[in-house]
Amino acid sequence: MKNVLITGASGGLGKLTTKHFADNGWNVIATMISLDLAEDLQGYPNVKCYKLDVTSTENIEEAKAQILNDFKTIDVVINNAGLGYRSFVELSEDSKINTIVNVNWLGVVKVCRAFIPVFREQNYGQFINITSIAGLVNLPLGNFYHSTKQAVESFSECMSYELLDFNVSVSTVQFGNAPTDFQNNVTKCEDSAIPSYNKMMNSINNILNKKTSKNKNLTTTIVNKLFSIANNPSKNFKKYTIGFDANFMKYFRGITGYRLFNFIIRKKVL
């Protein structure tokens, strides 16, 4: 049986991906910030849960030692852990900026850094780094979330060159708003005394909620695609764009260029 490590496996897409891999014959190393969140996964004999805080180098190393004691090899690492922060730059808070950067970007960096030696010694392995449509285009109130996801895109592509000699595959996965708990858990800035800001926040919240409710089959599509990528690693760096929204925005942005794209978003969205 192959072994996959998934970060952020306690909820949302991470939990669904964990269950799908387990149901299809993989051993799943399900990592999460607290083992109190692992209750739904206890019934799977081929799922083993570990406490792993992606923001802590020390905790990653502790979890890694435990994992390597239990598993001789690791075939795939899926960097799934992530969170959202929707705020205006003027109203943003240092603590919330630090948190999203530490989880969404530096968390991926630290987990990859920890497991590269494992893959290098095995002379095989695969990193699948989950980004978002936010890694492809820039949209209103995406200041912090989009920045971290685009950072992961750049980081992943650069890292892929380093690992070519060791038979280690690197890919990124982008998609739109899937019907998980993610949107409900996005941190947002408070209403302000600035009417323009409040109007824009309400508009964006409504658009994203509607998009999420329409994408009923997207989660299943994503999970199936992740399983397919894990079973068929690309030798060279590859970006996988999943779902209508992400594919449309990717090609629309490419065709229009940044000026026309910016104009259309301002007219249609705001």
d(CA 115, CA 113): 6
Instruction: Give the bridge partners for 48, in sequence order.
Output: 29
Q: Can you give the pTM of this predicted structure? A: 0.94
d(CA 120, CA 113): 11
- What are the tens digits of pLDDT across the range 164-176? 999 999 999 999 8
- What are the tens digits of pLDDT across the range 136-182? 899 999 999 999 999 999 999 999 999 999 999 999 999 988 777 77
> Does residue 213 surpass a pLDDT of 80?
no
What's the average model confidence in pLDDT over 220-224?
A: 95
> Does residue 100 surpass a pLDDT of 80?
yes
Catalytic residue list contains 258 = no
d(CA 18, CA 24): 10
Q: What is the pLDDT of residue 110?
A: 98
What's the average model confidence in pLDDT over 248-262?
A: 91
Domain that holds residue 39: 3-268
d(CA 59, CA 54): 8
Q: What is the pLDDT of residue 215?
A: 74
CA atoms within 13 A on the CB side of 181: 11
Percentage of the chain beyond pLDDT 70 is 99
Q: What is the pLDDT of residue 163?
A: 97
What's the average model confidence in pLDDT over 94-105?
A: 97
Residue type, 104: N
> Does residue 183 surpass a pLDDT of 80?
no
Q: What is the pLDDT of residue 142?
A: 92
Instruction: Look at 62 and 138; give whichever has higher pLDDT.
Output: 62
Q: What is the pLDDT of residue 217?
A: 85
Q: What is the pLDDT of residue 209?
A: 82
- What are the tens digits of pLDDT across the range 27-45? 999 999 999 988 889 889 9
> Does residue 211 surpass a pLDDT of 80?
no
Q: What is the pLDDT of residue 267?
A: 85
Q: Cβ distance 261 to 137 under 8 Å? A: yes
- CATH assignment at residue 200: 3.40.50.720
> Does residue 2 surpass a pLDDT of 90?
yes
Catalytic residue among 50, 85, 145, 240: 145
d(CA 167, CA 162): 10
Q: How far is CA 56 from CA 67, 99, 193, in A?
A: 16, 12, 37
Residue with tokens 């435990």: 66
What's the average model confidence in pLDDT over 80-89?
A: 95
Q: What is the pLDDT of residue 169?
A: 97
Q: How many domains does the chain have?
A: 1
